[in-house]
Chains A and B, each alone.
Chain A
Amino acid sequence: MMGDAIYIQTEKHVNVHTEVLFLKDLAQVAGGTKVIRAKLQMMPVVHLQRKQYGRYKLDVVDLIQKIQDAEPRMTITHVGEPEIVVQYISPLPENVIWSWMKTVFVCLVAFFGTMFSIMTFHTDVDIQGLFEKIYQSFFAEQTSGFTILEVSYSVGIGLGVILFFNHFGKWKIRQDPTPLEVEMCAYEEQIDNAVLDIETEKGQ
């Protein structure tokens, strides 16, 4: 029979800004008639605690149960992961100045931190002594400690980082995500997985 099946597709991670979530916020709905789809999409399915921002685990079976209650004659098929991580984010945009202050702070840590680590590395491996030997084998004279070798080496460091990150400022070598963006995604996913694990453990 036509129109007897409902299909819902869910993503692993959903960002929301309101405490009442309708089915359309969490899933894509297909199948059934237009009227049924519209009704299901506007059905409130989750009530989060007001202003309790954070990540929540949501079992898709609960969604299916609610759809089944609303449409007892329908067969519901789900496409996707069995759980959804719902991230409830404040609808108000964060204070711009505060956000920039935090950005500047991380920038300073990145700048001085990398500076510190390259300098400790140089001291650790005695790069000055090594460069002295290399310089002398080229020119057979005493090095001043800051020659063309050190300059080109420092330029090379900059080039190496640009190659690694695949961009400088707005200019990009290739349209791939940069390593830090990749790592950022991996980090977000780890947090989602941890939320799922912790919530599952609590439920047992």
Chain B
Amino acid sequence: MWEQMGIVFLGLSFGGFIANGLVAFIIALGIFPRYAGITKTGKKVRLYEDCILAGAVAGSVWYFHPSNIPFGNIGLCVLGLFFGIFLGSWIVALSEIVNAFSIMIRRIGITKAPWIIILAMALGKTLGSILFFWKGW
């Protein structure tokens, strides 16, 4: 009985702690304020927070208890697409936090069409990802 309660307490504390860290990180990266700004849906941020919560719990449960998802290839395609969209934003946001691109652009002195760099980055990441899985690295 005491062991049960102890392990439940541990589980709750671990989960609470990890969740705080993870969510704080996602917020600090500023992905969702930007998405809300671009889509002009700033009034819906509460809803986005609920979705972040649902995603964290669902991901955790699914990780420990992998179950059959009956959507086949289409489901996988949707899942992969959204994983990818999020990770793409995540990586760029992360490198932006350390000002990698703004410093680089300033040093090299690119004044025209910095969007080419963005496009090149997007293409590079997509190609890199395809190459990685195709070659089985």
Contact = CB atoms under 8 A, between A and B. Distances in A.
A42 interface: no
B70 interface: no
B32 A156 contact: no
A102 B47 CA distance: 12
Nearest to B59: A115
B107 interface: no
Interface string A126-165: 0010000011001100000111111111111111111111
Nearest to B51: A110
A148 B58 CA distance: 16
A159 B53 CA distance: 9
A155 B11 contact: yes
Given A119-B62, A121-B22, A106 B39 contact: yes
Interface stretch (B78-86, B116-124, B129-137): B78-86
Interface residues of A, number: 61
A112 B82 contact: yes
Given A117-B26, A160-B18, A161-B19, A106 B11 contact: no
A150 B64 contact: yes
Interface in B17-54: 17-20, 22-24, 26-27, 30-37, 39-42, 44-54
Given A99-B41, A134-B10, A169-B50, A156 B55 contact: no
8 contacts: A116-B86, A117-B59, A154-B15, A155-B57, A156-B11, A156-B15, A161-B52, A164-B20
Interface of B: 3-4, 6-20, 22-24, 26-27, 30-37, 39-42, 44-65, 79, 82-83, 85-87, 89-90
Given A148-B7, A157-B15, A169-B46, 14 more contacts: A108-B51, A110-B52, A113-B83, A113-B85, A116-B87, A150-B64, A152-B8, A157-B18, A157-B57, A159-B12, A160-B17, A160-B20, A162-B53, A184-B33
